[in-house]
Structure 1
Amino acid sequence: MFRHEPSRQAPSLGRPKDLEKRAAILEAAKTLFPVRGYGGVSMDAIAQAAGVSKLTVYSHFQDKDTLFVESVKARCEELLPSDLFVPRFEGPVRAHLTRIAHAFFRLITSDDAIAIHRMMSGQTTGDSHLPRMFWEAGPKRVQEALTTFLQAEHAAGELHVPDCALAASQFFCLLKGECHARLLCGIGEHYTPEQIDRHVDATVDLFLRAYGPGRR
């Protein structure tokens, strides 16, 4: 008689405990970088705030640059989810643009985003790689996502956008407007919900007057 050996299951990758630790590390990074600045945050501080060892931090993120970049990406995804940029042709394009606009405005006027932008402004030109890292992890990725969205809407005939990259830049610049500039200078106040609605609606209307399907 042959005895049946109990089957051995291969260890699974991405165990929940590991994912929880990674999430805790990212959460700590998202909290500490805007408050203390890049130079004021150490991997030891991240580990302590996340409740893990420094070795665990390095096992998930190879260095502080990587952790900073991933924290920027995570914050953008949190407030401006990538699925917002998936074209949906079952409804009016204006509604889709309005949703994107509200999410983008909420992101750029958040306290964390204002703190990070001020941090970037404090970097000496040509003396730091930090602004480029931030740009590529945050603003550039978001703008590329909107560019892809506009290209799809243009191809479907929902919009007429000869230069989608330029139009994406224009859309976001219009949304920033005076409010974002005043917040960066520390002299502005956050808009009320009614003011935000009016600002977003006016921006989307202006954008559609330039790039609506009737412009062909």
Structure 2
Amino acid sequence: MNRLVPGPIGEALVDDRPLRRRDGCKYESVVRAAIHLFGMRGFDGTSVNAIANAAQVSKATVYAYFNGKYDILLAALEEMLAALPGPRELVLNREGSLSDSLRGIARDVCELLTGPMMKSMYRMVVLSTSLNAHITEQFAAEIFDRYARAIEAFLYIEVSAGRLVITDVPCASAQFLGLAIGRPILHTVLTGNHWPSVQSLDAHIEVAVTFFLTTYAPGGYLPP
């Protein structure tokens, strides 16, 4: 009977070779080793042999759990995605004014999407020349769409309370994400470094929030 293993980003691997259960120390050791090596060397620069050596298991043991390097990559991404903060946890349940809430959301999302784990994921997937292009697109959708939907939920609440006037909330959510995180992510991707300073990130976020509220707050917005 074929085995159907859903991947973390909508992929599915079908195989008729029975594999071991996804539990136990050896499986976890392989996944942890893969996360470390893929994050340092990328998918293309990491071999199954290297993963086996780092996990201190035999190559045969790796293949007892996984069909190959691509299967290991999906398991590693799944593990990393599970470690990210939940979208609602990151976005909702904010206290303070609307502008303060938007600043906090922008700052937290920026810190998350330009942090070490995200840079590792980027090296694992986006920089690969051997992976199918659509896994990169699905990876981006898995990351960005989950937080965009949470921001949509936040904006719907603010619209219902009369604090924002928005006719197309999904579009406004995408605009806010683009304003808040577009430049920091581009900086991280192009330089491999974090945003230069907390002060400059705060200044960038202030501009993004001001522009957003000027567009969508009833009667406009005057920054403090």
For this structure pair, what is the TM-score category when the shorter chain's length is used for normalisation?
Answer: 0.5 to 0.7
Which runs of 5 or more residues in structure 1 are unaligned? 1-17
Q: Per-residue displacement from partner, 1:154-202 (whole Å, max 9, x unpaired)?
A: 2222322211111111111112344432332228763211111111122
1:69 touches 1:137 (CA, 8 Å); kept in 2? no
Read off the aligned partner of 2:144 and give its amino acid letter. P
Q: Percent identity?
A: 28
Residue 140 (structure 1) aligned to one of 126, 145, 158: 145
Aligned equivalents of 2:181, 2:129: Cα separation in 1: 22
Q: Any conservation in 2 of the 1:174–1:203 contact (CA below 8 Å)?
A: yes
Cα distance in 1 for partners of 2:27, 2:105 equals: 28
Residues 107-152 of structure 1, C-alpha deviations (whole Å, 9 max, x = no match)? 232244345446415547x943321331232112121221222122
- Normalised by the length of structure 2, the TM-score is 0.64
Q: Say how many residue pairs are matched.
A: 191
Q: Which amino acid aligns with 1:70?
A: E
Structure 2 unaligned spans of 5+:
1-22
Instruction: Give the deviation of 1:101 after TM superposition.
Output: 0.6
The CA distance in 2 between the partners of 1:209 and 1:24, in whole Å, is 51
Q: Structure 1 residues 114, 55: closer, same or farther in 2, change over 3 A?
A: closer
The structure 2 residue matched to 1:202, chosen from 202, 207, 214, is 207
- 1:19-48: per-residue Cα shift (whole Å, max 9, x none)? 999887765554333222234456776676
The TM-score, its normalising length taken from structure 1, stands at 0.66
Change (3 A) 1:26 1:196: farther
Q: Give the Cα–Cα distance (whole angstroms) in 1 for the partners of residues 144 and 135 of structure 2.
A: 13
| Counterpart residue number, 1:74 | 82
Distance 1:28 1:68 in 2: 9
2:32·2:76 contact (CA, 8 Å) conserved in 1? no
Q: Which has the larger radius of gyration?
A: 1
Structure 1 residues 121, 176: CA separation in 2 closer, same or farther (over 3 Å shift)?
Answer: farther
Cross-structure match for 1:120:
126
Match of 1:108 in 2: 113
Contact 1:175–1:200 (Cα < 8 Å) also in 2: yes
> Higher helix proportion, which one?
1
| Cα pair distance change 1:98/1:170, threshold 3 Å | same
> Separation in 1 of the partners of 2:92 and 2:25?
28
- d(CA) in 2 for partners of 1:26, 1:160: 46
User: Relative to structure 1, is the Cα distance of residues 128 and 202 closer, same or farther in structure 2, using a 3 angstrom cutoff?
Assistant: closer
The aligned counterpart of 2:37 is 32
Distance 1:44-1:112 versus aligned 2 partners, 3 A rule = same
Q: What is the match of residue 156 of structure 2?
A: 151
